[in-house]
Copies of this chain bind each other. A is one copy, B any other.
């Protein structure tokens, strides 16, 4: 035989192939119709290989999502709280588009059913954005003297993120106009009201 294929992948290599298959199946069929058989077939492997790694569908999916979403983002300082908040919301939009609406809903459903077990998933999606919001938008604004540390409450810190997430979940997207509206007519005024 001329063809000397590496017919059996292992470890990292195999896992990458599985993640890719999950992602492709997700694009093609959506979260609700993503099956273990489908992923196994597309990845050129078999179900037991999947179940040896993850206990169930959602765990596998969460791992794939985590794998494809960057766990750090470098957002250059845009010079103002307004511009940086808009930049953060655009990062969030990209992440949500990558993940997809029904996948987000599926993960939220799983989290609702099993909060402790899914703490890492919560961290990947929600905690991460809060971190970026704090570091990229708020901390810089405090440094710059644009706002006072005391103006920032948890509610206000997460406010633009919550609105962005809700809009994406319900409408399926988050246009630039909405981002600007959230920042200009809700976030900044609410923050401003706490001055002094």
Q: Which A residues are within 8 Å of any B CB, using their own CB?
A: 30-32, 101-102, 105-106, 108-109, 111-113, 126, 153, 155-156, 159, 162-163, 165-167, 169-170, 172, 181-182, 185-186, 189-190, 192-194
CA distance A194 to B193 in the complex (A): 12
* Beyond A189-B193, A193-B193, 9 additional pairs, beta carbon < 8 A: A102-B112, A105-B108, A112-B169, A156-B186, A185-B190, A186-B190, A189-B194, A190-B190, A192-B193
CA distance in complex: A156, B182 (Å) = 10
When distances are taken between beta carbons in the complex, the residues of chain B under 8 Å from A105 are 105, 108-109, 112
Asked if B182 and A155 sit within 8 Å, CB to CB, the answer is: yes
Query: Which of B30, B108, B153 is in CB contact (< 8 Å) with A113?
Result: B30
User: Which B-chain residue is minimally distant from A154 (CB atoms)?
Assistant: B181
